[in-house]
Amino acid sequence: MARILVTVMLKPEILDPQGAAVRNALGRLGLTGVNDVRQGKQFVIELDGDLDADRDALLHKLAAELLANPVIEDYRLEVDAQATA
C-alpha cells in the first residue's frame, strides 16, 4: 500500500481571499504578528500495491492537471513513507 499526499496551493501572485479571511480572523482572535496566511488543499491518496514508475508518472500528471488548476495553482507531491508499506 502506498499513501501519497498532494498539496495544492494558489500560486503566490494569485489573490487568496480565503487565506485573507483566515488571517483577519486570527488577528481578531488575538494572534499577533500574523504576516500572511495562504489556504490550500491537501489530498490524501491511498493506493493498492506500491507506486511503480508508471503510476508515479501518471500521478504527477494528474496532480498537475486535475488536482491542481495549472493556471492558478502549484502542487507538491510527497509519498508518506511511514504509511507506505
Beta-carbon contacts of 82 under 8 Å, excluding residues fewer than 6 positions away, are none
Q: Is 1 in the site for another protein (CB under 8 A)?
A: no
For residue 14, the partner it binds in another protein, its own copies, none, with Cβ less than 5 to 8 A by kind, is another protein
Residues 44-73: x/- map of binding to another protein (CB under 8 A)? ----------------------xx-x-xx-
How far apart are alpha carbons 2 and 18 in whole angstroms? 31
Q: Which of 13, 15, 36, 53 binds its own copies (CB under 8 A)?
A: 36
